[in-house]
Amino acid sequence: MTLFIRAVAAEDKAAAIKRAISGDSADRFAPDLDQFKQLPGTPFAYWVGAGVRAAFQRFQTVEGNGRAVRQGLATADDFRFVRTHWEIDPRDRGKKWFPFAKGGRLSPFYAGIHLVVNWADGGAEIKNNLNEKGNVRSNVWMLRDTAANYFFKGGLTWPLRASKFAPQPLPAGCIFSVRGYSVFLEEMLLLPSLAIFNSKPFDYIFKALLGRFGYPEFIVGVLQKLPWAEPSVEQANDLAALARSAWSLARTADTAVETSLAFTLPAPLNAADSVAAVTSKLAGLQSKIDAISFELFNLDESDRTEIEGAAVFASAEINEDNDESEDDNSEVAAAENAQFYVLSWSVGVAFGRFDIRLATGERSIPPEPEPFDALPDRSPGILPSGAAPFMPCSGIFVDDPGHADDLISRIIAVYERVGQPWPEPAALRRSFAREFFPGHIKMYTKSRRKAPIYWQLATPTGSYSVWLYLHTLNKDTLFRAQTDYIAPKLAHEQRQLDQLRADSGPNPSASQRKAIEAQEAFIGELQALLGEVKRVAPLWNPTLDDGVVIIMAPLWRLVPQNKPWQKELKAKWDELAAGKYDWAHVAMHLWPERVVPKCATDRSLAIAHGLEEVFWKEGDNGDWVSQSSPMRSIEELVHERTSAAVKAALKELSEASAPNGAKTRARRSSS
**What is the overall mean pLDDT for the chain?**
90
Same domain, 461 and 563: yes
Same domain, 530 and 640: no
Same domain, 585 and 547: no
d(C-alpha 440, C-alpha 269), whole Å: 19
Task: Provide mean pLDDT across the span 513-521.
Answer: 95
d(C-alpha 191, C-alpha 53), whole Å: 26
Same domain, 374 and 437: yes
Q: What is the pTM of this model?
A: 0.90
- 550-604 tens-digit pLDDT: 999 999 999 999 999 999 999 999 999 999 999 999 999 999 999 999 999 999 9
**Which one-letter amino acid corresponds to residue 632?**
R
Number of Cβ within a 10 Å radius of residue 275: 12
Q: Which one-letter DSSP state was computed for residue 374?
A: P
Is the pLDDT confidence value at 44 over 80? no
pLDDT of 336 reads 52
Q: Is there a domain that residue 370 lies in?
A: yes
Which of the listed residues 548, 572, 596 is the one where a domain comes to its end? 572
51: CB partners within 8 A, 6+ apart = 297, 298, 299, 300, 302, 303, 306
d(C-alpha 548, C-alpha 274), whole Å: 33
Instruction: State the burial class of residue 36 (Cβ atoms within 10 Å of its Cβ: 0-12, 13-18, 19+).
Output: middle
d(C-alpha 269, C-alpha 345), whole Å: 10
More confident residue, 14 or 56: 56
Instruction: Provide the pLDDT confidence category of residue 45 given band limits of 50, 70 and 90.
Output: low
pLDDT of 316 reads 45
Q: Which helix (H) or strand (E) holds 157?
A: strand 155-157
pLDDT of 261 reads 98
- Most confident among 21-35, 291-305, 313-327 (mean pLDDT): 291-305
Parent domain of 339: 332-572
Same domain, 562 and 601: no
Q: Is there a domain that residue 479 lies in?
A: yes
pLDDT of 386 reads 93
* H-helix segments, 263-353: 275-296, 301-308, 310-317, 330-334, 338-350
Is the pLDDT confidence value at 194 over 60? yes
Q: Is there a domain that residue 104 lies in?
A: no
The domain tally of the chain equals: 3
Same domain, 625 and 536: no
Same domain, 549 and 596: no
Instruction: Provide the pLDDT confidence category of residue 337 given band limits of 50, 70 and 90.
Output: confident
Task: Provide mean pLDDT across the span 258-272.
Answer: 93
Is the pLDDT confidence value at 205 over 60? yes
Q: In 3D, which of 125, 670, 160 has the Cα closest to residue 406?
A: 670
pLDDT of 603 reads 96
620: CB partners within 8 A, 6+ apart = none
Is the pLDDT confidence value at 517 over 60? yes
Q: In 3D, which of 394, 381, 375 has the Cα closest to residue 353?
A: 381
540: CB partners within 8 A, 6+ apart = 475, 477, 478, 554, 555
Question: How many CA atoms lie within 13 Å of 276's alpha carbon, on the beta-carbon side?
Answer: 0
Torsion sign over Cα 577, 578, 582, 584: negative
Which percentage of the chain shows pLDDT scores above 90? 75
Q: Is there a domain that residue 81 lies in?
A: no
Is the pLDDT confidence value at 642 over 60? yes
Task: Provide mean pLDDT across the span 618-633.
Answer: 84
Which of the listed residues 572, 605, 635 is the one where a domain comes to its end? 572
Paired strand residues for 231: none
Same domain, 499 and 636: no
- 416-428 tens-digit pLDDT: 999 999 889 999 9
pLDDT of 345 reads 98
Q: In 3D, which of 154, 128, 110 has the Cα closest to residue 262?
A: 110
Under 8 Å between Cβ of 138 and 213: no
Same domain, 591 and 547: no
Same domain, 422 and 557: yes
**Which one-letter amino acid corresponds to residue 13?**
K
- 104-157 tens-digit pLDDT: 889 999 999 999 999 999 999 999 999 998 899 999 999 999 999 999 999 999
Is the pLDDT confidence value at 356 over 60? yes
pLDDT of 10 reads 55
Task: Provide mean pLDDT across the span 522-547.
Answer: 98
Under 8 Å between Cβ of 557 and 664: no
Q: Is there a domain that residue 78 lies in?
A: no
Instruction: Provide the pLDDT confidence category of residue 3 given band limits of 50, 70 and 90.
Output: low
Same domain, 403 and 520: yes
Q: Is there a domain that residue 43 lies in?
A: yes
Q: Is there a domain that residue 393 lies in?
A: yes
**Which one-letter amino acid corresponds to residue 5?**
I
Instruction: Provide the pLDDT confidence category of residue 274 given band limits of 50, 70 and 90.
Output: confident
Task: Provide mean pLDDT across the span 521-534.
Answer: 97
Instruction: Provide the pLDDT confidence category of residue 468 given band limits of 50, 70 and 90.
Output: very high
Q: Is there a domain that residue 498 lies in?
A: yes
Q: Please, what is the Cα angle at 587 between 444 and 459, to 5 degrees? A: 50
Same domain, 362 and 399: yes
Under 8 Å between Cβ of 559 and 566: yes
